[in-house]
Amino acid sequence: MVELHEIEMKEVDAPSGSNTANAPTTSKDEKKDANTLTLDDIKEQVRTIEKAVNSKEPRFILRVLRALATTRKRLNEDVVRRLVCFYYGSNTSEREILLGFIQPVSQSMDVDTGKTNTPVTTNEKQLVSRPQTSRARAVALPEVDLYIHLIVLLHLIDRNSLKSALDCAKRLVDKTSVLNRRTLDLLAAKCYFYYARIFELNNMLDTIRPFLHSRLRTATLRNDFEGTAVLINLLLRNYLHYNLYSQAQKLVLKSVFPDHASNNEWARYLYYLGRIRAMQLEYTKAHQNLLTAIRKAPQQTAVGFRQNAHKFLITVELLLGDIPDKATFKNPQLKRSLDPYYQLTLAVRAGDLSRFKEVLDAFSDRFQQEKTWSLIIRLRHNVIKAGIKMISLSYTKISFSDVAQKLQLDSPEDAEYIVAKAIRDGVIEASINHEQGYVQSRDIVDVYTTREPMNAFHQRIEFCLKVHNESVKAMRYPPKKYQEELETAQERREREQEELEYAKEMADDEDDF
């Protein structure tokens, strides 16, 4: 029995050893490195662009641009170099220009043939996968040329090679300026975005303003909805970067933002519009725009955009006299960046002027960097009003000298003026005795006997209806569905008759069973 057991173990061990010996060879043949997989994905995207040009369907190009963020994370010098050499094998001048933007990976790379340090078998598979004529035909399309050029530009931005990226962006935009093809609209809009981004990183944003205006006129005349939306947002960002709020307001009044723009562009536009209106004291409209911008923005990504939008939203809510929801400050993605605004909210809510000054002294540099300083310094009056409200709830009768002392005001006369304005604005229910110098609070009125509950419900219902209307407008339908012929009455009757006969046959089969 023991000998049989030993024999069985030997028979099992023999094939397992042979499998382990052959396993590395099999895995080496089948496994591809990450660079080759990334290159294959980009080739597939190029084929999708070709399909979009041949079928004149921009939704295929839109699908490629949506995957651009994922592709960008996987780019490296080897991938970009192999991509340029693969598609620009016959176009030597363009290949040399694009490769000139990229620093050499290694001295052993043969630029003329496009060979890299990868095994020979991998390069042979790439060359066999697509003939030279097919590659030349693909890169001859302006859409494919722009897309490859855009990938090179993104690689330069990620490498922080700003000087090379600036030259690359200028050459890219020069290509888009001389072309007039509707299939280029989405790609050109993306090129304008990164063109402005390069100038912003080089602190030269003011130099491209005339160019953006000229392209906006051209995009408007051509009914290029995506390009118009991107260029309007770039100009608004340009103006707000230099605090030119009046020029930004004029641009908003004299331009029409396209309704068919993407959600991302709508989110940017509403964010800039909210900032402009907040600076012009239109806090209600600013709050509406900022809230809609946050709702339209991507909820899982675009963390930086949502952080900036929430900073302005919290500031505007405080200026409106409201207290932001505490759950906003507990969001893991927002908690760290919103900590100064949480301290600010606590100071405004308590009506503590000394604490408010401490927060301003501690975070003044950060508020100025985030462009919220000019709005936050307006909150001093709101802090005083909150303090007056707390005093009115705590005391039925209090002198103006005590009010001035609690609110840290300069004199009782200042306290009297501020209390009188609070009464006129409806912040507190009280009466002033000027002769004896005190303020007396009235009895608290039941809020349900006033119109406040109805106004609150009206505001919520209006918001829900607005969300519903925007959702209906944002619905997408399959393209060119309206061109399909509808079935006639005779065809409908025949189809119903066939369905009825088929149902009878199924019932007869069940009976036979």
Instruction: Please report the sign of the dihedral spanned by the C-alpha atoms of residue 368, residue 371, residue 372, residue 373.
Output: positive
Is the CB of residue 408 less than 8 Å from the CB of residue 418?
no
Does 390 lie in the same domain as 314? Answer: yes
What is d(CA 141, CA 336) in angstroms, rounded to the nearest whole number? 47
State how beta strands 430-433 and 438-441 pair. antiparallel
Which pLDDT score is estimated for 138? 60
Which pLDDT score is estimated for 14? 42
In a domain, 28, yes or no: no
In a domain, 65, yes or no: no
Does 411 lie in the same domain as 336? Answer: no
CA nearest neighbour of 158 among 220, 101, 230: 101
Question: How many structural domains is the chain composed of?
Answer: 2
Does 373 lie in the same domain as 310? Answer: yes
In a domain, 205, yes or no: no
Does 373 lie in the same domain as 307? Answer: yes
Which pLDDT score is estimated for 1? 39
Does 390 lie in the same domain as 432? Answer: no
Does 421 lie in the same domain as 373? Answer: no
Domain coverage including residue 418: 395-463
**Could you give phi then psi for residue 148, rounded to 5 degrees?**
-65, -40
In a domain, 275, yes or no: no
- pLDDT (tens digit, 9 = 90+) per residue, 446-474? 778 778 788 888 888 988 898 888 778 77
Rounded to the nearest 5 degrees, what angle is found at the Cα of 96, between the Cα atoms of 90 and 97?
Answer: 120
User: Average pLDDT for residues 403-417, to the nearest whole number?
Assistant: 77
pLDDT at position 513 over 80: no
| Residue 433 per-residue DSSP state | E
pLDDT at position 23 over 70: no
- pLDDT (tens digit, 9 = 90+) per residue, 337-349? 889 999 988 888 8
In a domain, 356, yes or no: yes
Residue 403 pLDDT class (50, 70, 90 cuts)? confident
User: Average pLDDT for residues 352-359, to the nearest whole number?
Assistant: 84
pLDDT at position 196 over 80: yes
Which pLDDT score is estimated for 268? 92
- pLDDT (tens digit, 9 = 90+) per residue, 356-390? 888 888 888 899 888 889 888 888 887 877 787 78
User: Average pLDDT for residues 415-431, to the nearest whole number?
Assistant: 77
User: Average pLDDT for residues 494-501, to the nearest whole number?
Assistant: 84
In a domain, 363, yes or no: yes
Top-confidence range, 120-124, 183-187, 357-361: 357-361
- pLDDT (tens digit, 9 = 90+) per residue, 274-285? 999 999 888 888
pLDDT at position 134 over 80: no
Does 406 lie in the same domain as 347? Answer: no
What is d(CA 497, CA 10) in angstroms, rounded to the nearest whole number? 71
pLDDT at position 4 over 50: no
Residue 270 pLDDT class (50, 70, 90 cuts)? very high
Residue 104 pLDDT class (50, 70, 90 cuts)? very low
pLDDT at position 24 over 70: no
- pLDDT (tens digit, 9 = 90+) per residue, 28-67? 434 467 888 888 888 888 888 888 888 877 788 888 888 8
In a domain, 77, yes or no: no
Q: Could you tell me the two tokens for 412?
A: 């009782």
Is the CB of residue 359 less than 8 Å from the CB of residue 343?
yes
Q: Could you tell me the two tokens for 296?
A: 């339209």
pLDDT at position 326 over 60: yes
Last residue of a domain, one of 368, 394, 420: 394
Does 384 lie in the same domain as 314? Answer: yes
What is d(CA 364, CA 283) in angstroms, rounded to the nearest whole number? 22
Which pLDDT score is estimated for 114? 44
Does 309 lie in the same domain as 365? Answer: yes
Residue 482 pLDDT class (50, 70, 90 cuts)? low
pLDDT at position 127 over 80: no
pLDDT at position 15 over 60: no
Is the CB of residue 324 less than 8 Å from the CB of residue 334?
no
Residue 236 pLDDT class (50, 70, 90 cuts)? very high
Which pLDDT score is estimated for 136? 54
CATH number for position 458: 1.10.10
As to burial, measured by CB atoms within 10 angstroms (0-12 exposed, 13-18 middle, 19+ buried), residue 261 is: buried
Which pLDDT score is estimated for 324? 86
The answer to pTM > 0.75 is no
Which pLDDT score is estimated for 133? 53
Which pLDDT score is estimated for 445? 65
**Strand, helix or coil at 413?**
helix
Does 347 lie in the same domain as 312? Answer: yes
Last residue of a domain, one of 463, 483, 503: 463
In a domain, 4, yes or no: no
Residue 509 pLDDT class (50, 70, 90 cuts)? low
User: Average pLDDT for residues 10-20, to the nearest whole number?
Assistant: 44
Least confident of 3-17, 229-243, 253-267, 300-314: 3-17
Does 452 lie in the same domain as 413? Answer: yes
Does 400 lie in the same domain as 372? Answer: no
Last residue of a domain, one of 370, 394, 418: 394
Residue 233 pLDDT class (50, 70, 90 cuts)? very high
What is d(CA 341, CA 332) in angstroms, rounded to the nearest whole number? 15
